[in-house]
Amino acid sequence: MACWLFKTEPAEFSIDQLAASPGGIARWDGIRNYQARNYLRDRVAIGDSVLIYHSSCKIPGIAGTATVVCSGYPDPAQFDPHSPYFDLKASPDNPRWFAVDIRFENRFANLLPARNLKKDPELSDMVLFSNGRLSVQPVTDRERQHILSLAKVSPGPA
DNA sequence: GCCAACGTTGGC
DNA sequence: GCCAACGTTGGC
């Protein structure tokens, strides 16, 4: 089982919206970056663990966890001319962008602020800090374990 | 709102 | 294929 960090702007789609989705399941779509696309298309698998990261908000950080319930498939939004994610150059025969489905697992009692995680020696190698703009990124098992242990002790905003 | 870092585009 | 110009991301 692999682990991933998915970034989202909570104003667009938050972990609460995920939790409120039918069955706690939602499509993770609208990813328009090739490196992230490659992960969604080729690597993200059913049963993988996901850390949900809130970005571009008051306190950016990890908000909770989810599980992958459907691996990569063409993102329907790319074919919809009314969608902000429409892509003129994509076609069903030759899809350019991919989505996965995830199911809500847990919302941390206290969000883990990125500025705290950044100071944590256990997490110094996280992709989050070397390529902060990548919206789908791999997380090592060690990083995941550490983050989950932090979430349990509920450190809260420092 | 600023700005640094990074990604994409397009002329050559 | 290079690289300058431009656009986007995202923390602050």
Higher model confidence: residue A90 or residue A51?
A: A51
In this complex, which residue's CA is closest to the C1' atom of nucleotide B6?
A: A133
Q: What is the mean pLDDT of residues A101-130?
A: 94
* Multiple choice CATH, A3-150, 3.10.590.10, 1.10.150.50, 3.90.79.10, 3.40.1050.10: 3.10.590.10
Q: pLDDT above 70 covers what percent of chain A?
A: 96
How far apart are alpha carbons A148 and A146 in whole angstroms?
A: 5
State residue A93's pLDDT score: 87
Q: What is the mean pLDDT of residues A3-21?
A: 96
Angstrom distances, CA of residue A80 to CA of A65, A83, A85, A91, A99: 30, 5, 8, 10, 14
3-state secondary structure of A68: strand
3-state secondary structure of A47: coil
Tell me the pLDDT band of A132, cut-offs 50, 70 and 90. Answer: confident
Distance A157 CA to B5 C1' (A): 26
Distance A31 CA to B11 C1' (A): 28
Higher model confidence: residue A124 or residue A158?
A: A124
- Secondary element (H or E) of residue A17: helix A15-20
Domain ranges of chain A: 3-150
Nucleotides of B under 7 A from a protein CB: 5-8
Distance A82 CA to C2 C1' (A): 36
State pLDDT tens for residues A32-82. 999 999 999 999 999 999 999 999 999 999 999 999 999 999 999 999 988
pLDDT at A153 over 70: no
Is any atom of nucleic acid chain B found less than 7 Å from the CB of residue A56? no
Nearest nucleotide (CA of A35 to C1')? B7
Do A36 and A82 meet the contact criterion of CB atoms below 8 Å apart?
no
